[in-house]
Structure 1
Amino acid sequence: MESLGELLKGWPQASSIHEQAERKMSELMQDPLVERLLAKHPELDAATVRLNLNRVYQYVTEYRNCTNCPGLDQCPNDFEGHYTLLSVETAGPNVQLNDRKVSCKKFIAKRNEEQIRSRVRSFYVDEKVLQGGYSSDEILNKDAERLKAVGQVLRYTMKTKEQGLQTEGLYLTGSFGTGKTFLMGYMLHELAKAGYSGVIVYMPDFVEDLKAMLHEPGKLKETVDLMKETDLLIFDDIGAENLNPWVRDHVLGSILNYRMNRKPTFYTSNYDLDALEMHFSFTNKDGDERHKGERLMNRVRPYVEIVHVTGSNKRERM
């Protein structure tokens, strides 16, 4: 933003700097914003304003910029998303005019949104799921057929906000494209605003990446520890992955064993719980191992509320 000194230098040279300053002083004193400041602080006289002419000019100019805000990314003020605020201090006969930079509402909103997003990590899940600007009205009105499921997710979200982190999660089951991931993204976003951390993992891609991490033990431990410790963990599209015994028993088993009775785990799946158990019971390497599938499901089944998500396939409309 152009300073008062730069403005005065650009005026016609026929006028002296003193005349230019007097003219600008007169204009500023008649500005409604300055008039309100003087009315609020009668101890503030013209001499003090004159000594702080640059501060007053910046105060008025940035206020006008904010009134006609072109958007945060085009903010014309000295510091993006901030404006100058004046305050008056009186110490005996001395009156002092001070200025400070204040964050505007748009800057605060952006910072809050960045803090919310920083609490949520995603692995192989489309970032749009987490940055869609959710609203409860939107998820209620998007498909009337899934209204019951939406109600369950909303009630769970509100319960967590009111009572704190639960030990039981949700298991969203339903056909392709009914919005299971969308509903979990909404819950994550809402609870991130309440201060909770979250991780959402797209299982088919994650399992393939885990196999590559066998040669990176440090990265593997960091990833597993993150999933153990996060407040909210979502396994998205579980059952669609190509399992091997190591992933099932040593990775998933370890994560779920740590989290049960501590922190909630959530799932979206095209399978119901019985079908998921069958999926866990068979691997391409070792074939049918029913007892190992049952063991893993004992870390899932008792710790979830089942949510049946019905409705039309949203992806077919795209």
Structure 2
Amino acid sequence: MESMSDLLKTNKRIEQNNERIYQQLIQHPKITALINDKEKPLTASMIRNDMITLKHYADQPTECEVDSDGNCISHPDGYVINIDIREGRANMYYTPCPVKERQDAFRRKENLIQSYHVPKDIKNATFDTIFIDGDSNRNPLIRKAIQVTKDIASGDNYRGLYVHGEFGIGKSYILGCIANELKEKSVSSMIVYVPEILRDLKAGFRDGTTDEKYRTFKEAEVLILDDLGAEDVTPWARDEIITSLLHHRMVQNKPTFISSNYSISDLEYRYSITKENGREETKARRMTERIRALCEEFELKGKNYRTK
């Protein structure tokens, strides 16, 4: 058992240590800033009552030091301690450090683009890196696309673009640029490769996921359909999926962008004939009328970059 003399010595050491910490705290710039706060000043009694909390606050690094991977060394968990003076106590709460805030903002922005069966180079395409070819009419399309994304971001316009042209001239790349331009304006988008999505929806009949997948595409803030017309034309694809999807987006004023190898008129002819039902011009026209309502048509011209 500890003697009374030893106990008194221990208490004395604790008191001396507490006093030393107190004196360090009241001279620390972070603590003096709290003491001098005009609205909720930190008092001497608060410092003594919440000394451990305030020492944690004072001891944490002020600036973020970043490692080679971009992570914060100063705050490994990504959070900094803050002090809130409330009900006569110094209360501790946490907020993200600047590095974590930047990382979280980047992740949120990256998540603004969802893609399905779209190559990585298309998803990462930007107007800053696009190749400008003098033999192509990309320049006016780029200007138009940037203006349309500005209008969509400001709520002034819901009408997208229907970009058509020959194989390999960069239609899909333009769509990727549009998705990233929208991302920079904090507008979410979904870019999908039409032939594969139709296969996914058909496969979903087996596991009951068709409705959920279809609803995801239908309700996207901005929907980007890549290579419409490259799929096998069936009454189900035309009427139940594509026309229904376009009709919903037209009624809801949801921006939609489309790329195709076919002009809208040629697309109408392609969709008017199916193996199952033969010629059905009215149903094909019903689909293309919705495309025209949703999109401004633009024919992209230029070289086939895939043959280089």
Q: TM-score, normalised by structure 2?
A: 0.74
**Does 1:225 pair with 2:215?**
yes
Contact 2:81/2:95, CA 8 A, preserved across alignment: yes
Determine the C-alpha separation between the residues in 1 that align with 2:103 and 2:19.
Answer: 40
Cα distance in 1 for partners of 2:223, 2:267 equals 18
Distance 1:302 1:97 in 2: 60
Task: Indicate the percent of aligned positions where both proteins have the same amino acid.
Answer: 25
How far off is 1:290 after superposition?
4.8
**Is the aligned partner of 1:104 residue 2:102?**
no
For residues 164-190 of structure 1, the C-alpha deviation after alignment (integer angstroms, 9 at most, x for no partner) is 562x32112345262223123224424
Letter in structure 2 aligned against 1:53: M
- 1:189 alignment partner AA: K
Unmatched 5+ stretches in structure 1: 1-12
Corresponding residue for 1:297?
A: 288
SS in 1 for 2:209: helix
Q: 1:254 aligns with which of 237, 244, 247?
A: 244
Report the residue type matching 1:124 in the other structure.
H
Q: Aligned pair 1:139/2:139, yes or no?
A: no
- Mind listing any 5+ residue stretches in structure 2 that lack a counterpart? 1-9
CA contact (8 A) 1:198 1:232 kept: yes
Pairing partner for 1:199 from 164, 170, 190: 190
Seen in structure 2, the aligned counterparts of structure 1 residues 284 and 202 have a Cα distance that, compared at 3 Å, is same
Shift of 1:266: 1.5
1:237 matched to 2:237: no
Aligned equivalent of 1:171: 162
Report the RMSD for the aligned CA atoms in angstroms: 3.7
CA gap of 1:148–1:17, structure 2 versus 1, over 3 A, is farther
How many equivalent pairs are there? 288
For 1:3, the equivalent position in structure 2 comes to none
Which piece of structure 1 moves more, 242-251 or 43-52?
A: 43-52
Question: What CA distance in whole angstroms lies between the structure 2 residues aligned with 1:313 and 1:52?
Answer: 71
Q: How does 1:114-129 map to 2 (within 5 A)?
A: 114-115=107-108, 120-126=113-119
**Closer, same or farther: CA 44–205 of 1 in aligned 2, 3 Å:** closer
- After TM superposition, the score normalised by the length of structure 1 is 0.72
